[in-house]
């Protein structure tokens, strides 16, 4: 059985690393990068620079979720706009709705 997780090497903030994500997340990241007129590695670097999570793969998944929630108008409560990655310097609580 083939694993649903795809591991890819990518340059993030000037250094090469590997990231494991499900294929729909890779596809979504490429789409978001294209919409922003940037490349995938630049988008991942932005997420890396601003993430609060200890795991880059998790931060990417949350970024993609936030992007599509924002596009759907699904922001609720006191959440910051999720179309941009949250900043490490300004933590915001994660609340369940």
Question: Which region holds residue 13: left if phi is over 0, alpha if psi is between -120 and 50, else beta?
Answer: left
pTM > 0.75: yes or no: no
- Segment 50-65 mean pLDDT: 91
Residue 90 has pLDDT above 60, yes or no: no
How would CATH label the architecture of 5-71? Orthogonal Bundle (1.10)
pLDDT of residue 76: 56
DSSP H or E run through 57? helix 56-71
CA distance 49 to 36: 17
């Amino acid at each position: 059985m083939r694993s649903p997780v795809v591991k890819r090497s990518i340059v993030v903030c000037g250094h090469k690393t590997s990231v494991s994500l499900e294929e729909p997340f890779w596809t979504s990241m490429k789409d978001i990068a294209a919409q922003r007129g940037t490349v995938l590695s630049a988008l991942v670097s932005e997420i890396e620079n601003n993430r609060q999570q200890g795991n880059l793969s998790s931060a990417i998944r949350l970024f993609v979720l936030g992007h599509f929630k924002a596009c759907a108008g699904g922001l609720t409560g006191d959440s910051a706009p999720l179309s941009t990655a949250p900043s490490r310097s300004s933590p915001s609580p994660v609340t369940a709705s």
